A = this chain, B = another copy of it.
Amino acid sequence: MVNVRIYVTYKESVFDPQGDTIKQAIQGLGHTEVLDVKVGKFFDVTLDPTQKELAQAVKEIAEELLVNFNLETYKYEVMEETK
């Protein structure tokens, strides 16, 4: 089994309203040390690599379901492999 973490974020050019709201809330609580906040999602996916090549599986899952490519982009990293 392989555990893969897929990170989905807004593209640089896209405004992140949730992050902006959280930044303002944090600063409103007195945390002037906080300069910026961006929000993202991640998906911890457990895969069976004997069934499909890892990079191909992640690409298909991201494109078909997890990522809205108009607004978002993604990266992934392999967290753990167990035999």
Asked whether A41 and B38 contact (CB < 8 A) given A33-B47, A33-B57, the answer is no
Task: Give Cα A32 to B46, complex, Å.
Answer: 11
- Considering the complex, which residues of chain A in the window 8-61 have a beta carbon less than 8 Å from any beta carbon of chain B? 19, 22, 25-26, 29, 31-49, 51-52, 57, 60-61
Picked from B26, B33, B48, the residue with its CB within 8 Å of the CB of A65 is B26
Task: Give Cα A61 to B37, complex, Å.
Answer: 11
Determine whether A80 belongs to the interface, using a CB cutoff of 8 Å to chain B. Answer: no
Picked from B33, B39, B48, B66, the residue with its CB within 8 Å of the CB of A49 is B33
Determine whether A76 belongs to the interface, using a CB cutoff of 8 Å to chain B. Answer: no
Picked from B7, B35, B44, B60, the residue with its CB within 8 Å of the CB of A37 is B44
